[in-house]
Amino acid sequence: MQKETWIVDIDRVDEKGAGQGVVWRENELGNKKKLKLTVPQTLPGEKVRVTVDQPERRRRKVMPDEILEAHPERVAAPCIHFDRCGGCVWQHWDYEGQLKEKTKHVKHVIGEQGFDTSLVRDTIGMDNPWRYRNKMEFTFAKDGSLGLHEQGNFRKIISLETCLIAGEEMVEAAMEIAQWVKEFGLEGYDKDLHEGLLRHLMVRQSFATGEMMLAIFATKAPIQPAVDNLIARITEKFPQVKSLMWLENTDWADRTQSEKSHTLAGRDFIYDMMDGYKFRIWFDTFFQTNPTQAQKLVDLAVEMGEPKKTESMIDLFCGVGTFSLPFASKVEKLAGIEIVETSIESAKRNASDNGIDNTMFLAKDARNGLAQVLETFGRPELLLLDPPRSGAGGKVMRRIGRSQPERIVYVSCNPDTFATDIKELEPFGYTLKVVQPVDLFPHTVHVECCALLVRNN
């Protein structure tokens, strides 16, 4: 196989956090051709040496042979799995540098849509950007070993000894289950042949209550006597585990879903807290995975929205009520809309558990749900939306624009779709006032935003 060595200047990072560079090479006819290179674990401004196979192609992904000129913000990655694991792609970047890059990206996408980039504040980071996750999903390899996907290879599982972004107790419990699998010789799931037993392990732990959930996803019902041994060792070693679940999943889709659930020990949910409110968390409940920064998001949303006791409010894409409950105590009435019925049932239960009685929740898609709520609820003074990564979309945003709330608070986990969404509000008389990025996922490319838009009088 033909190989060529090049010295490459890294000029930017792509949407997955890998360095990007370009080299020009002459083909056999003497014509210059551009070769675009993706070089993981490099930073903008670095000069690196790479070896490229099949250089005649237009694009190649290669690991750096050597960093010739390092970025001043380059640091040694602390995790022993960094070179292979696909979890944290920016551990080699000083944390302040990561925050600056995230601010830069938000400014870029906002500017592309014609908004004033000075409205974007500096990204709010963490005092300690490690051990911040309250939920992890690990995958079993075919041999039963437990880990995360290899960088750029969805079918390869890296067996883990640690994970520096998950809570220490969560990692200890996961390693205990990995040891149990090894002792009983249980097999993992083969994604190609669709054979095997164990698929995933989900670990959730509340930072507020300390309660932990361990959920094993398998293709069959619980296996005896292995499960009896699992129950005994988990209940003995980890009293904080209040939910030990075995979830059957035979679907071809590689997701943590369940067709039949078995509660092996404890209950089928755990309790968590946010902003002083209690939430029930099931295995499939969407709840912010970084509670420290999620609290900052809630505080920002309340600060920007300025809710008043005389006002009504709509919470679009409300989930289980993460924003609904803190806002409900500050407005006259609140309506939450969410397409996932189980989330709506959870939102109702969470409101009841916390003694909140001025809310209504509707299980419907955002556009039609908003139309239905407006008929019975009336025009709200305040509307909050927290859509998935794909954004709310033009139809939903135009429906929001026509409903004419005085203030709109947009909480986003994807600046790109956020920027295109809010552009749809301009024809309806809305002005963007401020965008505050918040880092909920240190050492990754992801960044959340909280923004305020106000209707012109």
Domain ranges of the chain: 3-69, 100-127+286-455, 135-274
Residue among 229, 346, 333 nearest 277 (CA): 346
The CATH architecture that domain 100-127+286-455 belongs to is: 3-Layer(aba) Sandwich (3.40)
Q: Which helix (H) or strand (E) holds 321?
A: none
In 10 A of CB 308, how many CB atoms?
13
Q: What is the pLDDT of residue 387?
A: 97
Rounded distance between C-alpha atoms, residue 160 and residue 140, angstroms: 11
What region does 129 belong to: left with phi over 0, alpha with psi -120 to 50, or beta?
Answer: alpha
Same-fold call for 3-69 versus 135-274: yes
Q: Would you write out the chain's pLDDT as a tens digit for each of its 457 residues?
A: 578 899 999 999 999 999 999 998 877 666 788 889 999 999 999 999 999 987 778 899 999 999 999 999 999 999 999 988 878 999 999 999 999 999 999 999 999 999 999 999 999 999 999 999 999 999 999 999 999 988 777 778 889 889 999 999 999 999 999 999 999 999 999 988 889 999 999 999 999 999 999 999 999 999 999 999 999 999 999 999 999 999 999 988 788 888 899 999 999 999 999 999 999 999 999 899 999 999 999 999 999 999 999 999 999 999 999 999 999 999 999 999 999 999 999 999 999 999 999 999 999 999 999 999 999 888 999 999 999 999 999 999 999 999 999 999 999 999 999 999 999 999 999 999 999 999 999 999 999 999 999 999 7
Catalytic site positions: 413
Rounded distance between C-alpha atoms, residue 339 and residue 346, angstroms: 13
Q: Is the peptide bond before 225 cis (omega within 30 degrees of 0)?
A: yes
Q: For the domain with range 135-274, which CATH number is right: 3.30.9.10, 3.40.190.10, 1.10.3720.10, 2.40.50.1070?
A: 2.40.50.1070
Instruction: Tell me if 143 sits within 8 A of 187, measured CB to CB.
Output: yes
Q: What is the pLDDT of residue 67?
A: 97
Helix orientation angle between 366-377 and 394-403, rounded to the nearest 10 degrees: 10
What predicted TM-score, i.e. pTM, was given to this entire model?
0.93
Rounded distance between C-alpha atoms, residue 254 and residue 450, angstroms: 31
Q: What is the pLDDT of residue 33?
A: 86
Give me the CATH code for the 3-69 domain, please: 2.40.50.140
Rounded distance between C-alpha atoms, residue 271 and residue 278, angstroms: 7
Q: What is the pLDDT of residue 1?
A: 57
Helix orientation angle between 168-184 and 226-237, rounded to the nearest 10 degrees: 150
Strand-pairing partners, residue 434, are 452
